[in-house]
Amino acid sequence: MAFELTDANFQEKALAPDTVSVIDFWAEWCGPCRMVAPVIEEIAKEYQDKILVGKVDVDSNFQVSMKYGIRSIPTILIVKNGEVFDRHVGTISKAALTEKIEKALA
């Protein structure tokens, strides 16, 4: 299951050195976010020992959302060694997201 990231734990969990994180910025009311949610959960299961997969509720976590300029949701960030490696706005297929993750892990 994807890890719940918040303003309070984001720095420690998502930006840890020597890690790759996949971060889904979403909101409960967002239809496209609900479409992406199963993909995020599948990725979380498949990569559970390799990467951190987390979700940030933009309605509850304004600081992180503002820091990363989240204007549209869903937005998925792939963070490698504390820096944004890739950014995707909108829905995404599992295959496309997996390809982005594999590039970050390479």
Q: Which residues are catalytic?
A: 30, 33
Q: How far apart are CA 43 and CA 38, in angstroms?
A: 9
Q: CA gyration radius for the chain?
A: 12
What one-character DSSP code corresponds to residue 95? H
Instruction: Please list, in sequence order, all residues whose beta carbon lies within 8 angstroms of the beta carbon of residue 20, skipping any fewer than 6 positions away.
Output: 50, 51, 52, 78, 79, 80, 85, 101, 104, 105
How many CB atoms lie under 10 A from the CB of residue 35? 13
